[in-house]
Structure 1
């Protein structure tokens, strides 16, 4: 059994990592879309990254609703909540993950339609591959 302090540090780490990470990536996805709507000269479409704003939201809800009690008590979530509660939350997280995939696919098609409509062309030279995925770059055709 972990000490109460260890559990609390683990929860603090999760909060300090997951919430800012989700916000940072979601903000980036929104900025990419706003670049497209504002007809910027260079637009980025990150297909894998598009999953995160919706797909990861279930994990954030899980952390938001289940970890405060665990933090106060200094106990693991499994020790506080019934297995039925954990199973329900597992389903919620899974549903959000699947919705995130659907969102990423739909948003990609929507973005590609707008790119074609606004006269952008794909730039293989500017496209980047990073740990967060392939960032397709489109340039405004003159």
Structure 2
């Protein structure tokens, strides 16, 4: 069994990544408040699906409303940032409660989703799409 990893303030820290986004996440016991880049999650992630993505680690471990989360996110778009925060929360949750690691790992939340946008190639309109063919 792993041991609890906390900083001097009693917080669990983890880094989450998805696409081009990187999230730094601090987890502390509380009332379930999630702050992203100094704003409430309802303000920062306006789409309900993105908030649902962020809450997945808490839902699977049945810890809704038990932890406060402070996250700073940089890079990427909103979808990638939500995935990065989810990855960070999952990592931090396992550092705070090592017993939850098997549950979170089985759900696949600890694995960094390595899918990124394919680069554009020369002689192509996009990564794979060709320019429109003109017979005449």
- The structure that has the greater radius of gyration is 1
Whether TM exceeds 0.5 here: the answer is: no
| TM norm structure 2 | 0.30
Answer 1 or 2: which has greater strand percent. Answer: 2
| TM norm structure 1 | 0.29
